[in-house]
Amino acid sequence: MARHYGIGIIAGLASALLIGVVVQATPLALALYLLAPLPILIVAMGWSHRTGLVAAAAGTLALALAASPLRGLSFLISTALPAWWLGYLALLGRPKSAGDTASGEMEWYPTGRLLAWVAVTAAAALIVVVMLSSGEHAAYQDRVRRLARAMLQLQLQEVPSRGAALQEEDLARIADRVAGIAPAIMATTFTLLLTFYLWAGARVVQVSGRLPRPWPDIPATAMPRRALWGLAIGGALTVAPGYAGAFGVALLGALAAALALQGLAAIHDRSRGRPGRTPLLVGLYVVVFLTQGLALAALSLFGLFDVVSGRRQPAKVPPAA
């Protein structure tokens, strides 16, 4: 057990180091920074969730001492805890029949529920980090408005004819709208990143032979219908003031990303065994790459239909006699 904790400490320090290299401000440093959750996810799934907690604590302490307590806390909320939590959920399992532990057959946590938790985790972690880094909600909004305004002005410099048509009030109005949807944009990106981290970490652990659960049938991923309550809660919170409203917007964006991933999985699932499947999927990914936001919106609607219809919901395990 002590050896496992040692592995956790090494993983946490590696994750903190990947976070720290971002100060180099190079493309390689950014790429390494984006991989920071992987060491914690790998030890959480390859050894145990307790080892993942040790990694989270070690990385947080290292950054708090080397940089600042706020930097350590931000790492804990945005990187360490989400990685540990998803690794913990991925390895949840129970015997298929109540009281039957001799056969060794396990019912593992469904990938659809895991996908829903990825979205909720992304939205919650994002808002907490924003609160820590910005303080009051008004300060956060002001910062996002200034950033949106600067980006808009930079784009207008490249197209002077458009810039001449925009007045100061127009710039302010567009900046306000961007500030309003910024949590959704950030949560969408974070959800996609967390999903990639979970898949990549599980693949690494599987290759090493340490993954306790069999590799899931990812195209069969189907979120339960009750995950749609998140959309209702997010929509209701959007009218709330302050960070509560920002969390509602972030939750909608995160769930939209999760629904897009479910829509993608549904296409993979429903096209199995059909002629022309490979060209269809290649064309789909090309369209997603070229159109980005538009394709994600269409996939989200398809994923929403897939959840509502419930046609691909996994069968429930019958209770033991």
Would you say the C-alpha torsion 235, 237, 242, 243 has a positive or negative sign?
Answer: negative
Name the pTM for this structure. 0.90
Alpha carbons within 13 A on the beta-carbon side of 70: 7
> What is the helix, strand, coil percentage profile of the chain, to 5?
80, 0, 20
Query: Other CB atoms closer than 10 Å to residue 103's CB: what's the count?
Result: 9
Would you state the pLDDT for residue 259? 96
How far the first Cα of the chain sits from its last, in Å, is 38
Q: Per-residue pLDDT for the chain (321 aa), expressed as one digit of tens each?
A: 567 789 999 999 999 999 888 766 677 778 888 899 999 999 999 999 999 999 999 999 999 999 889 999 999 999 999 999 999 999 998 887 655 555 567 889 999 999 999 999 999 999 999 998 888 888 888 888 888 777 777 766 665 555 455 566 767 777 788 888 999 999 999 999 999 999 999 999 999 999 999 999 999 999 999 999 999 999 999 999 999 999 999 999 999 999 999 999 999 999 988 888 899 999 988 988 888 778 888 999 999 999 998 776 654 443 333
Which among 246, 255, 238, 20 is positioned nearest to 131, based on CA atoms? 246
- For 103, the 3-state DSSP assignment is coil
Is the distance from CB of 32 to CB of 19 less than 8 angstroms?
Answer: no
As a dihedral over the C-alpha atoms of residue 193, residue 194, residue 196, residue 197, rounded to 10 degrees, the angle is 120
Domain boundaries, the chain: 1-91, 92-309
Would you state the pLDDT for residue 34? 87
Is the distance from CB of 193 to CB of 276 less than 8 angstroms?
Answer: no
